[in-house]
Amino acid sequence: MLFNSYIFLFLFLPVSLLGFYGLNRLGLYRVADVFLIAVSLWFYGWFNVSYLLLIVLSMTGNYMVSLLFDRGRVSKGITLFFALFINLGLLFYFKYFDFFISNINFIFKTDYNLKNILLPLGISFFTFQQLSYMIDRVKGRAPHYGIIDYAAYVTFFPQLVAGPIVLHDEFIPQLKDRERRKPDADKIYEGLISFVIGLSKKVLLADTLAVAVNYGFDNYLMLDSFSTIVVMLAYFLELYFDFSGYSDMAIGLGAMFNFDLPVNFDSPYRSHSLKELWTRWHMTLTRFMTTYVYIPLGGSRKGRARTLVNIFIVFLLSGLWHGAAWTYVVWGMLTGLVVIWDNLRKRDIPGILGIIATDLTFLLLLIPFRSESLAVAWRILVNLFTRGWTGNLLKLAENVMNMPELYVPMQVLNRGAGIGKGATSLIFLILLLAIGIFVIGRRNTVYIKNTYKSRPWMPPILAILFTYSVVSLSQVSTFIYFNF
């Protein structure tokens, strides 16, 4: 089920909120928790019912190992082994098995059959979440929770399929706090602000920009330098609005249920280095990689050279986390090398020049990240610097800006001002990109919510954004990070 869908907005969410708070109002706290688990599984199973068996088996396996460890039936070493085996084993099979076999076939000229496994939704997110808990169990940083508390922690639907990656001590203590079981008007309003801003980012900006991105990558052989620049700028913006929009909605939904979920984006495109950008982009993944990979490898405690190697390993694994393809591996390696360079520099480029340099670097790194193959990535890079102007940009604009809401203003320019259709479409495409650039230069949703929530103009602005987003839901698309 998508956050940006009619069934979620007008059926699932009202039923979930009323049921959860209604049961708590009656003092049926454990029943309310079970209800929350049930609706979360409904949310997850809506995409594919067969996914339910996988997540239930994954939760059961982790819970049973934790229980045996709590009762002294297994040692720390065995607990850690089974935790890694259960979680990384499942992740490897569903996400990387075909990639591994295809590379074996290529290297050794074998002919093993691929399984063509359908990637379960959000498996990377709920796997990392459970893995973090099991490692904390072994390290003595987490108690053994009851099955209801643990299941609610893993399945809570706002963060289930695309994050943020929530730690056990961020969620379960809130679940146990009875004071949070009462509806809080201020928290619900704050949640609405975050949710509507995230929804508008996704529906009004990301989905519109996606048309340009998909057209460009589907027709990359036809792109000239100017249209390649537009396509990559569109993806640079789409990726941010899509994922930060989802995170805003997840945090907003959590607030509606009186849960505080961790912030996942902190205006990353205002960074002065790629190193800084990765402390402000997908912050919960960065935290996971730092806590459970970088620090166990030695962090910065074993000398400069080892520190740089550890950074490279973290970004290589981050690339693999995003997908089972050499494009993600190359993206992770290149990103790691740039971050290493940032660590070797004495200081960042100051001011707006540093921000522009960082964003351009990130944009170029997105070429392999978005491409279907390394060959496609190379061709797009060649297009960027060698193809000049062929007029393809006008065709791109016509395909992108063919939206019902633009019909009247486009007709005015076409007929009233005598501007051609291609040129008119290009004007609106440039305007869309300009709006996107303006928005990424502003402060993030948390700042907007905290600073302007009491302003009298906030409710009507939210109503306009929500209405416009709902009207645009006919063009609904999945979130980019659902693929990861």
pLDDT at 481: 64
DSSP-derived letter for residue 221 is: G
Distance of CA 170 to the CA centre of its chain: 19
Q: Cα-flanking dihedrals φ and ψ of residue 35, to 5°?
A: -60, -40
- Positions marked catalytic: 322
Residue 339's pLDDT is what? Answer: 96
pLDDT, tens digit (0-9, with 9 covering 90-100), for 414-446 = 666 667 777 888 888 999 999 999 999 988 999
- Cα(244)–Cα(199) distance, rounded to whole angstroms? 10
Contacts with 111 (C-beta within 8 Å, 6 or more apart), sequence order = 105
Q: What is the pTM of this model?
A: 0.94
Asked whether residue 218 carries a pLDDT value surpassing 80, the answer given is yes
pLDDT band at residue 394 under the 50/70/90 scheme:
confident
With 80 as the cut, is the pLDDT of residue 482 above it? no
- The single-letter code of the amino acid at 477 is S
Is the alpha carbon torsion for 171, 160, 281, 330 positive or negative? Answer: positive
Could you give the maximum distance between any two Cα atoms of the chain, in Å?
A: 81
CA–chain centroid gap for 331, Å, is: 17
